[in-house]
């Protein structure tokens, strides 16, 4: 069985600019529903942040690649999502339209970007340490584990000063790599509660149909139902992403082939890491 995996926000603009009909169609759709030209990340309305532009770009490229897979006769048996990849994943599943996926990506991204006016936030990418010492480091510095990608690859999220001190502590504690990345908001942490009211209003503006293809959520590895989707879209911004558990659950459910549908191959790399550890 095949699983389509939809990654979250890319860290960088990949300058992917194919010139086929499907790309131009998705490009026009993104422009109409978000005001962003994904071809060069230029805004045709009041601009939002760089992170929001990357979120829209990532969702649009996922929708484009999903179209190409469908045209080639590839159909998923299950769908997995990671962070902001949920919107394109829902579109691929039939729960929402591509237009709604792009609108949600833009509106949610713009809403959480407003948190940058109230704080200076960052992400820390940690490689090498296991969960227990890294959780202690996060607690020592007032930040949070946001992404559990593998047993030794995590993202932490929170105030920038706390992230910087946590990165320094992790390197001193034996991490292979620890880097700081700027961000608009502390995604996947309790700090997002400050925007929960506005976010709830946004996700409540849309109707979510029952998916034609099952979508496994990254919180408790259950399959989303139509009635659960609206609440999940809020909760997933406040709670961590558990990709390691999702991958293992998908394998247990019978998935034998994973296809990453988006920018880059980060999820493929996480999968290889998880598999290599299981083989030891």
CATH 3.40.366.10 positions along the chain are 2-115+189-278
E strands, 7-135, are 36-37, 42-43, 78-81, 121-127
E strands, 140-252, are 144-150, 153-159, 177-182, 214-216, 241-242
- Three-class SS of residue 251? helix
**Per residue in 122-134, pLDDT tens?**
999 999 999 999 9
CA distance 81 to 243: 9
CA distances from 70 to 3, 76, 85, 253, 278 (A): 13, 9, 18, 23, 32
Mean pLDDT of the chain: 95
For 212-227, give one letter per residue: b (16+ CB within 10 A) or e: ebbbbbbbebeebeee
Burial (CB < 10 A; 0-12, 13-18, 19+), residue 15, is: exposed
Q: What is the mean pLDDT of residues 215-229?
A: 97
178 in Cβ contact with 170 (< 8 Å): yes
Q: What is the mean pLDDT of residues 240-245?
A: 97
pLDDT at 223: 97
| Structural domain 2-115+189-278, CATH architecture | 3-Layer(aba) Sandwich (3.40)
**Per residue in 171-213, pLDDT tens?**
999 999 999 999 999 999 999 999 999 999 999 999 999 999 9
Phi, psi of 63 (to 5 degrees): -65, -40
Strands 36-37 and 42-43: antiparallel
Residue 91's pLDDT band, with cuts at 50, 70 and 90, is: very high
Which uninterrupted H or E stretch holds 6? strand 2-6
10 Å Cβ neighbour count for 14? 13
| Distance between first and last Cα of the chain | 25
Q: Say if residue 243's pLDDT is above 80.
A: yes
Phi, psi of 104 (to 5 degrees): -60, -45
pLDDT at 18: 83
Residue 242's pLDDT band, with cuts at 50, 70 and 90, is: very high
Q: How many residues does the chain have?
A: 280
Q: Say if residue 14's pLDDT is above 90.
A: no
CATH 3.30.70.250 positions along the chain are 118-182
Whole-structure pTM value: 0.95
Q: Which CATH class name applies to 118-182?
A: alpha beta
């Amino acid at each position: 069985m095949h699983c389509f995996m939809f990654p979250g926000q890319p860290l960088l603009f990949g300058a992917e600019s194919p010139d086929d009909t499907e790309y131009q169609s998705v490009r026009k759709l993104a422009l109409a529903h978000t005001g962003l030209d994904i071809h060069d990340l230029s805004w045709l309305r009041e601009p939002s942040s760089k992170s929001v532009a990357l979120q829209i770009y990532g969702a649009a490229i996922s929708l484009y690649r999903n179209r190409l897979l469908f045209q080639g006769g590839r159909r998923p048996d299950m769908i997995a999502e990671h962070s902001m990849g949920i919107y394109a994943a829902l579109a691929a599943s039939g729960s929402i339209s591509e237009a709604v996926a792009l609108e949600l990506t833009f509106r949610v991204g713009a809403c959480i970007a407003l948190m940058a006016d109230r704080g200076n936030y960052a992400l820390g990418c940690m490689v090498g340490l296991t969960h227990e010492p890294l959780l202690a480091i996060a607690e020592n510095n007032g930040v949070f584990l946001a992404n559990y990608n593998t047993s030794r690859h995590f993202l932490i999220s929170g105030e920038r000063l706390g992230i910087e001190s946590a990165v320094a502590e992790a390197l001193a504690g034996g991490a292979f790599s620890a880097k700081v990345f700027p961000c608009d908001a502390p995604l996947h942490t309790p700090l997002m509660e400050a925007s929960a009211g506005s976010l709830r209003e946004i996700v409540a503006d849309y109707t979510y149909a029952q998916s034609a293809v099952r979508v496994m959520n990254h919180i408790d590895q259950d399959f989303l139902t139509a009635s659960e989707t609206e609440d999940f879209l809020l909760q997933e911004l406040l709670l961590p992403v558990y990709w390691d558990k999702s991958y293992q659950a998908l394998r247990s459910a019978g998935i034998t082939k994973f296809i990453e549908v988006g920018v880059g191959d980060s999820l493929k790399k996480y999968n290889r890491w998880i598999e290599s550890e299981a083989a030891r």
